[in-house]
Amino acid sequence: MSEWRNFYDRTGEEIGRLKADRPELADLIDFYSKVLDAQKSVRERFDPDTEGKSAPLQPDDVDIDWKLFEELFDRVGALSAERTGRDIPSWSAVTAGDADLPRKLIEGLREGDTPIKDPVVAHLACQTLVPFLEAYAEDLKDSIEDDKWQKSTCPVCGGEPLMGRLHKETGKRELQCQLCRTVWSFKRMECPFCGCDEQKMLRYFYDEDETTYRVEVCDDCKRYLKTVDLRTKNEETGLIAEDLATLHLDVAAEREGYRKGTGSE
Ligand SMILES: [Zn+2]
Ligand SMILES: [Zn+2]
Q: How far apart are CA 129 and CA 46, in angstroms?
A: 12
Q: How confident is the model at residue 110 (pLDDT cuts 50, 70, 90)?
A: confident
**What's the pLDDT at 265?**
38
The pocket of ion ligand 1, defined by CB under 5 A, consists of 154, 156-157, 159, 177, 179-180, 182
Span 97-102, average pLDDT: 92
Q: What integer pLDDT is reported at residue 61 of this predicted model?
A: 94
Residue 175 and residue 226 in contact, taking contact as beta carbons nearer than 8 Å = no
pLDDT band at 54, cuts 50/70/90? very high
Across the strands, what pairs with 165?
174, 228
| Cα-based distances in Å from 158 to 11, 106, 229 | 23, 10, 24
CA–centroid distance, 178 to ligand 1, in Å, is 7
**pLDDT value at residue 230:** 96
Measured from the alpha carbon of residue 129, the closest ligand is 1
Does the pLDDT at position 16 exceed 60?
Answer: yes
User: What is the sign, positive or negative, of the torsion defined by CA atoms of 158, 163, 166, 168?
Assistant: negative
**Which listed ligand is nearest to 138 at the C-alpha?**
1
Q: Is the pLDDT of residue 251 over 60?
A: yes
> What are the CA-CA distances from residue 198 to residues 191, 192, 202, 223 (Å)?
9, 13, 7, 15
Average pLDDT, the chain: 93
SS3 for 156-202, per residue? CCCCCEEEEEECCCCCCEEEEECCCCCEEECCCCCCCCCCCCCHHHE
Ligand 1 centroid – CA 32 distance (Å): 19
**Ligand 2 center–CA 30 separation, angstroms:** 33
pLDDT at position 38: 98
C-alpha 128: how far from chain center: 11
Whether 264 shows a pLDDT value over 80: the answer reads no
Q: Which helix (H) or strand (E) holds 255?
A: helix 247-255
* Ligand lying nearest the CA atom of residue 154: 1
Name the closest ligand to CA 261.
2
Task: Tell me the H-state helices in 64-158.
Answer: 66-84, 91-95, 101-111, 119-140, 146-149
State in Å: Cα 160 to ligand 2 middle.
Answer: 13
Distance 35 CA to ligand 1 centre (A): 18
Mean pLDDT of 147-168: 93
| pLDDT cut 90: percent of the chain above it | 89
Under a CB-based contact definition with an 8 Å cutoff, are residues 47 and 135 in contact?
yes
**Can you tell me the distance from the alpha carbon of 124 to that of 89, in angstroms, rounded to the nearest whole number?**
11
Which pLDDT score, from 0 to 100, does residue 122 have? 94
What's the pTM value of the predicted model, to 2 decimals?
0.93
User: CA 143, CA 109: separation in Å to the nearest integer?
Assistant: 19
Considering every ligand atom, which ligand is closest to the CA of 259?
2
pLDDT at 262: 58
The answer, yes or no, to whether residue 111 has pLDDT greater than 90, is no
Answer yes or no: is pLDDT of 234 > 50.
yes
Ligand with the closest atom to the CA of 193:
2
pLDDT 10s digits, 176-207: 999 999 999 999 999 999 999 999 999 999 98
Q: Where are the domains of the chain?
A: 3-143, 146-260
- pLDDT above 70 coverage of the chain, percent: 98
Separation of CA 260 and ligand 2 centre (Å): 11
Quick: pLDDT tens for 21-38. 999 999 999 999 999 999
Give the distance (Å) from ligand 1 centre to CA of residue 156: 5
Q: 146-260, superfamily in CATH? A: FdhE-like domain (3.90.1670.10)
Q: Which ligand lies nearest to the CA atom of residue 112 in the structure?
A: 1
Is the pLDDT score of 263 beyond 90?
Answer: no
Taking the CA of 217 as reference, the closest ligand is 2
Task: Name residue 226's beta-bridge partners.
Answer: 215
